[in-house]
Amino acid sequence: MWRSEVYGSYEVDVNTYNIFLLYNYSQGTLTSHGDSWSTIRNFTVKNLSSLGFGKKCMEPFILPDIEELVDSLSKEVGNRVDFKDKFYTPVTNHLWNILTGEEIRDKKFFRETLTSLHRSLWQPIGNSIWFLPWLTELFPGLTGLNWIKNDPSLLHNEVKRQTKNNASDSSLNENLVKIFLKEIQKTEGDEGSHFHKNKGDNHMKGTIINFYFTAAEAMTNTLNWALLYLSLYPETQEKLADEILAVIGSERSPSLEDLINMPYTKAVMQEVLRISSTSPFSNFQMTTQDVTFETYFIPKNTIILANLYGIHHDPNSYPEPEIFNPDRFLDETRSRDAPPPFLPFSVGLRSCPGQTFARNVFFLLLVSLCQKFEFRWDPNVEKPSSDFLTEKCNVSFLRFTPKFKLVLGWREKFGSIRRMSAAA
Ligand code: HEM
């Protein structure tokens, strides 16, 4: 059941029981609800936009981090590479700067922070922690509750440090923490304000953590799915590389302006977002009043999750949904009156506020990687079937790839040049 006018309206709101509450993340964009949510979300989105979030002006800041990644991967050509945490820095470095005014200098510390958070936050959807919170209190070790309570402290402490920095160092460039601090100061005498003293402070810290952590995990995971599928469908990878080499060549860095001339690349990105459904569900939401939708009656206080994975894997909309086939997004039928639903970032008031940033960074990274490298499935390892991929991925708030390693090769050596010589 899906209708944006019901789902995205005021009639549903974020549920008060939420795994994030266990982290003391009860404030911020992702986990608050009602009036405080809309105030904080609007404030955050408006100010992030004024800082260039998701805009083309981010390009010169993100590209050097991508180049650094390409350089470091160059040293691994010929090896079997695990890409699990390779993308954290290019995805988050500039974002962290916009959020806090600082660059990520100690990359190892941030990688460790994210790795420990990753372990605790992404409890499988079947874990009792989601549905039987009382059980987790009885068995905190077994159910992962201990991790959940302890692991976020590294990031919490880092955000606290950034807040202090911004309060004392006026030379830091404009950033979201600084803007929040000004608003908190402005509303010092207004107890009803969502920015008032501790309330404002909690919203600020929660928002920084929500944005940073969600970006790091959702993007890293999407890129991992992309490389995994491209290695399993080498002809698709070659077609993608051909378009990149034809439009951009092998030396120039990609620019967001190139996308308009790269329909196949766009289709590959869409197909990755569809088949992976990195974010398989919407956030937990709850009806705030009785709702009648078509023949269904949904009483007030019912928890609802939109099944985005189900929408993207419905064979009526996407025939043979487990096949990775970017052509389905090039098909003329897409431009018919009612193209199949495509909602990787959800829809409605609570849809993903990071989607433009996500699409742009996905494009820059995917193109930069496939321009230089070829990603091959190790011939000595059996290729996973689509059933295997479905069964072995960890489904949580995000849908994570099973563990895999790919053989990294040079694009020039193994890509178009090889095909050209074969043709000659
Ligand atoms: C490919 C990458 C991404 C995907 C597929 C994705 C998808 C989603 C989805 C499905 C939701 C839930 C919407 C709902 O409950 O209806 C969401 C929420 C959210 N996303 Fe993303 N996202 C991605 C990247 C990002 C990035 C890069 C950021 C930040 C920089 C971000 C920040 C957020 C936040 C803060 C929310 C909560 C919004 C709210 O409740 O008001 N996401 N995202």
DSSP per-residue codes, 88-155: HHHHHHHHHHHHHS-----HHHHHHHHHHHHHHH---TTSHHHH-HHHHHHSTTTTTHHHHHHTTHHH
Residue 288: its pLDDT value, please?
76
Are the beta carbons of 321 and 314 closer than 8 angstroms?
yes
Q: Residue range 46-67: average pLDDT?
A: 96
DSSP 251: T
Q: Residue range 1-10: average pLDDT?
A: 43
Q: Is the pLDDT score of 3 beyond 50?
A: no
State the closest ligand 1 atom to the C-alpha of 95, by its place in the atom list counted from 1. Answer: 30
Residue 420: its pLDDT value, please?
45
Pocket of ligand 1 contains residue 225 by CB under 6 Å: no
Q: Residue range 359-385: average pLDDT?
A: 97
Residue 165: its pLDDT value, please?
86
Which are the contacts of 179, defined by CB distance < 8 A and separation ≥ 6? 47
Higher pLDDT among residues 193 and 301, named by residue: 193
Q: How far apart are CA 6 and CA 166, in angstroms?
A: 41
Q: How far apart are CA 69 and CA 46, in angstroms?
A: 31
Q: How far apart are CA 368 and CA 418, in angstroms?
A: 20
Query: pLDDT tens for residues 377-420?
Result: 999 999 999 988 988 887 877 899 999 999 999 997 444 444 54
Q: Is 352 annotated as a binding residue?
A: yes
Higher pLDDT among residues 128 and 68, named by residue: 68
State the closest ligand 1 atom to the C-alpha of 308, by its place in the atom list counted from 1. Answer: 10
Task: Collapse the DSSP code of 410 into the 3-class scheme (helix H, G, I; strand E, B; otherwise coil) and give the result.
Answer: strand
Q: Is the pLDDT score of 6 beyond 50?
A: no
Residue 285: its pLDDT value, please?
77
User: Does 1.10.630.10 match the CATH number of domain 4-423?
Assistant: yes
Q: Is the pLDDT score of 171 beyond 80?
A: yes
Residue 78: its pLDDT value, please?
96
Q: Is the pLDDT score of 335 beyond 70?
A: no
> Confidence class of residue 360 from pLDDT cuts 50, 70 and 90?
very high
Higher pLDDT among residues 154 and 79, named by residue: 79
Separation of 218 CA from ligand 1 center, angstroms?
Answer: 8
- Total residues belonging to the chain: 424
Query: pLDDT tens for residues 239-277?
Result: 999 999 999 999 999 999 999 999 999 999 999 999 999
Q: How far apart are CA 79 and CA 77, in angstroms?
A: 6
Residue 16: its pLDDT value, please?
44
Q: How far apart are CA 339 and CA 364, in angstroms?
A: 27
DSSP 6: H
Query: pLDDT tens for residues 69-119?
Result: 999 999 999 999 999 889 999 999 999 999 999 888 777 777 777 776 776
Give Cα 83 to chain centroid, integer Å: 16
Q: Residue range 288-316: average pLDDT?
A: 87
Q: Name the closest-CA residue to atom 27, ligand 1.
A: 215
Which are the contacts of 171, defined by CB distance < 8 A and separation ≥ 6? none
Amino acid (1-letter code) at residue 416: S
Separation of 114 CA from ligand 1 center, angstroms?
Answer: 17
Tell the burial category of 253 from Cβ atoms under 10 Å away from its Cβ (0-12, 13-18, 19+): middle
Please state, rounded to an integer, the average pLDDT across all residues of the chain. 85
Q: Residue range 225-233: average pLDDT?
A: 98
State the closest ligand 1 atom to the C-alpha of 41, by its place in the atom list counted from 1. Answer: 41
Query: pLDDT tens for residues 59-74?
Result: 999 999 999 999 999 9
Separation of 146 CA from ligand 1 center, angstroms?
Answer: 26
